[in-house]
Structure 1
Amino acid sequence: MTSYENSNFEPLVVLHFSPTTPDETKNWVIKRLTARQDEDDGADLLVRYDTDPESHNNILLIGATLNRLLLGAEELRIKKPYKNDTLREFLISDIDNFDHSGSPDSFLLKSEKQLVIWDEIQNVRPMQHEHTIPGVPTKSVTPTSDTILGLLRNLDFVISVFPLHDKEDMKLIERDWFMATYSSFKPQDIHKVRNYFGENVAYYFAFLEFYTKALIPTAILGFFVSIWPGWDFFKYSLFCIFNVIWWSIFMEKWKRLSSKLAYQWGSFDLKIYERPRPFYYGDLQRSPITNQAERVYPRWKRLLKKYLVTYPVVMCCLALSLWIYFAYYRIQIKTDHNYPLDGSLFSIHTKLMRTMPSAGYSLLIIPMNLIYKKIATYLTDFENHRLQTGYENNLTSKLFVFYVMNCFIGLFYEAFFNVNYGNVVQLLISLVIINAIFLKFTEQIGPYVLKRVKKNQLLDGKSQSSQVSDAVKQAKTLTPFEGTYGDYLTIFEQYGYVALFSA
């Protein structure tokens, strides 16, 4: 049952083609997705077009047979509860000894089914004899290194690939999170989040909840310190000591909680069995261990790219960030000189003018961070890391170095070299407030308004009796999810402000 005309399957993943994609290319993609693994090295998935007229034959619904999903779960070494109350890597031959094996259709979580399909979509490649893309004869391909999804993205033929949401499951999560009575004061059932969204998103929300609770003692003590009419040196020294102890405890407690969750979810030793990244390329060589053909990329080439390209580009970005800070610093000194605080009637105007340089610098930091994130991602892709953990570690190190320089160097310089605590407070307030306003608009207000506008456009002219399919509605209204990196960087930035400079 691999024909794309067949509709007797559960749609799990949506592939949204751009309107410019030739029909020959679409048919080629469908053929590779539905081709059998043992014969044509295909993905062996179930594919059909969405039947809604609004899709314009640009939206593919992708699913898989139960046997294909179970085989994929075994290949990915997904861990499932065993009947002796432990977690074990799933094996089809041992399925009877796993919990819930009596109901095969619900044996795998929906997020696990979608993970299997997503992994296959990412790894499917052209056939060995194919050297051009059907519909685009001028585009040459290399079957040993190019992936179907990578080729489509390079040609701007794919708008998005995403897991199809289940409205009923989403409503249950929404009700538990923020619609139920006292939901704001209840701990999140993080396991429900994991079962629906997967481990990466669940880890983020677990950390966010843990971090938010850790801010409460800091906020309470900070409030009393600010109104306590005592000696400044004593009370701020006390607050600094508290910060050092409290945030050290926070880090150790989080390590224990994350290890506990990793054990419960079966991801504690995941990196030991990690598969190569879909976009990893190299020459095919037979492995002496597995006796299978594997892609190999020389380590010296990766090091050459790092030393000749990555490190010089990163150093130039850091130098530019430092130059921009000292340009701001000179403007701030000049502004303070032109608008001294003398207690006159124009003190409000004076304070406003003295704040303008720090506000402008805070605004400039935001696009600098966004641009550097794109540069860091491009450089990490260019280095061609084999495993996802290596890719993420290298990307994280680049982002960490730049964010420390861009967000904290000015505060460090003012606090420990100039010892100008007035400027530290002024710059810190500007950074925190402007960043909070920017995030409010870009992560909440903006996406909500954009979604409402797109939804109204989609439903405009539709009669009440006609229904828009879930796939079309989600493809045309949902904001693309770019992973949790940006969210973690936001917390890292706020954590630095709170833990290092709140006193």
Structure 2
Amino acid sequence: MGEEETRGLQSVFRQKTPSRFRPYVVLEFAVGAKQPAIEWMISKLQASESSGGADLEVSAVVMTFKKQTVLYIGAKNSRLLTAADMTGLSKIYKDNHYREFSIEDMANFKGIEDVDSFLTTAEKQKLILHEMEAVRASDEEDHIPGYDKIKLWTGKSILKKYLSRDIITKMYPLHEPEDLKKLGADWYQIKRIFKEQPIDDIRHYFGEKIALYFAFLGYYTIALIPPAFIGIIYFITSWQSMYREAIFAVFNLIWATIFLEVWKRYCSELSYRWGTIDMVSSTYDEPRANYFGTLGENPVTGKPEPVFPSGSVVFGFTV
């Protein structure tokens, strides 16, 4: 990427992006990615929703020594609240119950007075990712600029196509150093090894999925204490009997049943507390962007997507 191309790229994102904003997500383009593709992605992310864009804030950094472009993505509070409304994000209502957020009724949600802290870091990153993936190809956009051979399907995510074709090589959220340091002090310090994990703080920073993972990990570790204790007793004693293994097998059967039932109860408790117990995706996962074939219709969803002849699929399994 030459100097003139770099100046041209910088002029693209400076037109709409303020000099300072808070980024939450990073996109790294491949080394040597073509400028038209980079500029088009920036314009799509910055364009208004009415024109098929994501209406996000974008700042580009061009590393000339690596010939690589990095995009820092953020969003205004008003844009995040609109996305929260559209996606049905659950927040605490004035009656202390979780409800789907609504801009029309936002005055009755707790914490709305401070818009910056109303949404957690994980929620902001999730909303920005959702809006980036929601930028889709129109009927006129049949290929990525600069890559004539990379075709775009109408209505499919442009970002996913960039990722699948390695035009964008990395996408990741940015950390909050101070919040992460505070969380680490309350979580994985040696002095807290026998204390309960700060699950709510983990959820606030990383989101519900990661928090549930660590909740299960901690619960499973504690649940392993009884079978481990009995196993140690079996190991250090010399008791030999035909009932030895049978007793331990019956114990493990009972333990596994109790473990699963108690975990389901605890998981439901966390899901209710976080307002995700009734969260069901209303959309179907779309096919991966690197799938290929002729454009057809999904018999289940009725939506257009690439299809592959069934005869060719069977032949592939038999080879």
Instruction: Give the TM bin, normalised by the shorter chain.
Output: 0.7 to 0.9
Deviation (angstroms), 1:53: 6.9
Q: Take 2:66 and 2:176, find their aligned partners in 1: how far apart are those partners? A: 19
After superposition, give the CA deviation of every residue in 1:368-417 in whole Å (9 maximum; x if it has no partner). xxxxxxxxxxxxxxxxxxxxxxxxxxxxxxxxxxxxxxxxxxxxxxxxxx
For the residue of structure 1 that corresponds to 2:71, the secondary structure is strand
User: Superposition pairs for residues 268-347 of structure 1, below 5 Å?
Assistant: 268-271=277-280, 273-279=281-287, 296=303, 308=314
Q: Take 2:270 and 2:14, find their aligned partners in 1: how far apart are those partners? A: 37
Q: Take 2:113 and 2:297, find their aligned partners in 1: how far apart are those partners? A: 41
Q: Take 1:69 and 1:187, find their aligned partners in 2: how far apart are those partners? A: 33
2:211 pairs with 1:211: no
RMSD: 2.9
Q: 1:265 to 1:26 in 2, by over 3 A?
A: same
Q: TM-score, normalised by structure 2?
A: 0.84
Hey, what does 1:60 align to over in structure 2?
71
Q: Take 1:15 and 1:158, find their aligned partners in 2: how far apart are those partners? A: 7
Deviation (angstroms), 1:50: 3.3
Deviation (angstroms), 1:231: 2.2
C-alpha contact (below 8 Å) 1:33/1:121 kept by paired residues: yes
Q: Take 2:66 and 2:116, find their aligned partners in 1: how far apart are those partners? A: 29
* Amino acid corresponding to residue 23 of structure 1 in structure 2: Q
Deviation (angstroms), 1:24: 1.0
2:117 pairs with 1:109: no
Q: Take 1:71 and 1:276, find their aligned partners in 2: how far apart are those partners? A: 22
2:72 pairs with 1:76: no
Hey, what does 1:10 align to over in structure 2?
22
* Amino acid corresponding to residue 212 of structure 1 in structure 2: T
After superposition, give the CA deviation of every residue in 1:322-372 in whole Å (9 maximum; x if it has no partner). xxxxxxxxxxxxxxxxxxxxxxxxxxxxxxxxxxxxxxxxxxxxxxxxxxx
Hey, what does 2:7 align to over in structure 1?
none
Deviation (angstroms), 1:280: 6.8
Q: 1:284 to 1:27 in 2, by over 3 A?
A: farther
Hey, what does 1:455 align to over in structure 2?
none
Q: Take 2:48 and 2:31, find their aligned partners in 1: how far apart are those partners? A: 28
Deviation (angstroms), 1:143: 2.4
Which segment drifts farther, 106-115 or 4-13? Answer: 4-13
Q: 1:295 to 1:66 in 2, by over 3 A?
A: farther
After superposition, give the CA deviation of every residue in 1:156-198 in whole Å (9 maximum; x if it has no partner). 21111111111111111111122262x1111101111111111
Q: Take 1:180 and 1:3, find their aligned partners in 2: how far apart are those partners? A: 50
5+ long unaligned stretches in structure 1: 286-293, 317-503
Hey, what does 2:199 align to over in structure 1?
190
Higher strand share: 2
After superposition, give the CA deviation of every residue in 1:404-454 in whole Å (9 maximum; x if it has no partner). xxxxxxxxxxxxxxxxxxxxxxxxxxxxxxxxxxxxxxxxxxxxxxxxxxx
Q: 1:114 to 1:3 in 2, by over 3 A?
A: farther
2:22 pairs with 1:37: no
Hey, what does 2:169 align to over in structure 1?
159
Q: 1:194 to 1:2 in 2, by over 3 A?
A: farther
C-alpha contact (below 8 Å) 2:62/2:69 kept by paired residues: no
Hey, what does 2:5 align to over in structure 1?
none
* Amino acid corresponding to residue 104 of structure 1 in structure 2: V
For the residue of structure 2 that corresponds to 1:43, the secondary structure is coil
Hey, what does 2:263 align to over in structure 1?
254
Deviation (angstroms), 1:55: 7.6
Question: Identity percentage over the alignment?
Answer: 34
User: Superposition pairs for residues 90-239 of structure 1, below 5 Å?
Assistant: 90-145=101-156, 147-179=157-189, 181=191, 183-239=192-248
Q: 1:196 to 1:127 in 2, by over 3 A?
A: same
For the residue of structure 1 that corresponds to 2:203, the secondary structure is helix
Q: Take 2:155 and 2:90, find their aligned partners in 1: how far apart are those partners? A: 30
Q: Take 2:198 and 2:66, find their aligned partners in 1: how far apart are those partners? A: 36
C-alpha contact (below 8 Å) 1:2/1:34 kept by paired residues: no
Matched residues, number:
297
Deviation (angstroms), 1:209: 0.5
Q: 1:270 to 1:37 in 2, by over 3 A?
A: same
Q: 1:124 to 1:59 in 2, by over 3 A?
A: same
For the residue of structure 1 that corresponds to 2:172, the secondary structure is strand
Hey, what does 1:265 align to over in structure 2?
274
Q: Take 1:263 and 1:126, find their aligned partners in 2: how far apart are those partners? A: 37
Deviation (angstroms), 1:111: 0.6
* Amino acid corresponding to residue 116 of structure 2 in structure 1: D
For the residue of structure 1 that corresponds to 2:149, the secondary structure is strand
Q: Take 1:94 and 1:275, find their aligned partners in 2: how far apart are those partners? A: 25
Deviation (angstroms), 1:309: 8.2
C-alpha contact (below 8 Å) 1:79/1:87 kept by paired residues: yes
Q: Take 1:137 and 1:116, find their aligned partners in 2: how far apart are those partners? A: 31
Q: 1:114 to 1:54 in 2, by over 3 A?
A: farther
Q: Take 1:139 and 1:280, find their aligned partners in 2: how far apart are those partners? A: 14
C-alpha contact (below 8 Å) 1:144/1:284 kept by paired residues: no
Higher helix share: 1
Q: TM-score, normalised by structure 1?
A: 0.55
User: Superposition pairs for residues 339-378 of structure 1, below 5 Å?
Assistant: none
- Which entry has the higher C-alpha Rg, 1 or 2? 1
Deviation (angstroms), 1:284: 8.4
